[in-house]
Amino acid sequence: MKFTWFHLMPWPHMPDDFRQKHRSVWVDLPSRMYEPELGHGIYHQYLDQLEFAESVGFDGIGVNEHHANAYGLMPSPNIMAATLTRRTSKAALVVLGNSIALYNPPIRVAEELAMLDVLSGGRLIAGFPVGTSMDTNYAYGTIPALTREKYAEAHDLIRKAWAADEPFAFNGRYTKLRYVNCWPKPIQRPAPPIFIPGGGSVETYDFCIDNTYSYSYLSYSGYLRAKLLMGGYWKRVAERKVDESPYRAGFAQVICVADTDAEAEKLYWPHVSYFYNRCLHVYPGFADAPGYRTVKTIQTGALSQFTQAAVRNYPSMTWKDLLDGRYVIAGSPETVRQQMEELIKTLRVGNVFCLLHVGNMPDDKVRHSTRLFAEKVMPHLRNLWPDWNNHDDRFWTHPMNERVPMKVAAE
């Protein structure tokens, strides 16, 4: 198993009456709510937490990309990952965004990810999300019905740019470059491992299978509700007659660990509530721009994460509801271990993106929960895929052997 400690980096100072005062945490939330001088400390605290996660043994540390929102403050995940390259030495840097349809020209993504791979000595895992509709369409203006075609073309360009040793011309519909010449190039050849965040579209299943990319379902509704979608993926894997390595798939889970189940509620409920009721408070009109998802995908009945959030009545859900429905895995190390094992086995995932910072959780609680997970849960989950030797070379990093010594903060 591979465990990635994933940060969303939310704004932790949304007021108690946030839902009443604002229709959406995304797209049109006035930025006057953001206080830059508070933001300074928050960014550094969040980065410290990612570094701490490496020091307690997580395999990966993760960042992502979002725009115009208080849900996640990383418009540029590459800047965050760049700081981590110099202060960590072991963990994979899981950059689960660049939203490649947004960059003009997308060669910029090939260059920056190559920079990160070189800086980190080959520790980069690249993620290529389409991006949420709020980000891609409303905040960045991409035409919804053309988003996927633009994405596919950007992907094609990036892979070719990494693979080529000579300049070449790229005559795309959206990008025309007479000289594609990617300096630097990534250490990992022909490319870093690539994870694709997916939300149930059949096209994405095939895209992952065709390219040997790991399919990552980033859900906040827990593993019980994810079974249908992941089942669809594994069915497709079987139909395509490729191997069923669990490392072909990953899942994101909100996790809170305490000494006892009762203690978990006491420590973490306010922050879990903050996350579900403020961070996920998206105006339904922004959740799914018409044309953003294909008709075929809509017909499968899979709703986007944020349409689900809009349809579900999170404010009415109690701690018990969220736990019973396994939206959140929380409790003593033994409770968490049992449920994590069930998650990993039922979804058949080799990667778990652990969301251990939740909402407006203060630093001491984040570290407490993280340490308990690393010391008392993770070791018991390491050996769940013995048939695969608990590792699949195709879906994890290949760091270079002799990296320059650095004075690393986490050591």
- Summarize as ranges the residues that interact with another protein (CB under 8 A): 27, 137-138, 141, 143-146, 173, 283-286, 288-295, 298-299, 301, 311
Nearer to another protein, 295 or 404 (CB): 295
Tell me how far CA of residue 15 lies from CA of 20, 34, 45, 70, 175, in angstroms.
10, 12, 20, 12, 43
* Least Cβ distance, residue 98 to another protein (angstroms): 21
CA 61/CA 122 separation, integer angstroms = 14
* Least Cβ distance, residue 283 to another protein (angstroms): 7
Helices (H) and strands (E) in the chain, counts: 16, 11
CA 82/CA 112 separation, integer angstroms = 10
CA 65/CA 204 separation, integer angstroms = 19
Q: Tokens representing 248?
A: 């072909």
Nearer to another protein, 307 or 370 (CB): 307
* Least Cβ distance, residue 350 to another protein (angstroms): 32
Nearer to another protein, 54 or 288 (CB): 288
* Least Cβ distance, residue 290 to another protein (angstroms): 3
CA 387/CA 385 separation, integer angstroms = 5
Nearer to another protein, 201 or 214 (CB): 201
User: Residue holding tokens 């013995």?
Assistant: 386
Tell me how far CA of residue 22 lies from CA of 9, 16, 146, 189, 271, in angstroms.
20, 11, 30, 47, 19
Nearer to another protein, 249 or 309 (CB): 309
Nearer to another protein, 190 or 290 (CB): 290
DSSP state of 134: I
Angle at 28 between CA 292 and CA 80, to 5 degrees: 80
* Least Cβ distance, residue 311 to another protein (angstroms): 7
Side chain identity at residue 18, one-letter code = F
* Least Cβ distance, residue 242 to another protein (angstroms): 28
* Least Cβ distance, residue 114 to another protein (angstroms): 30
Element (H, E) at 223: helix 222-239
Nearer to another protein, 142 or 245 (CB): 142
Instruction: Centre a 10 Å sphere on the Cβ of residue 321 and count the other Cβ atoms it contains.
Output: 12
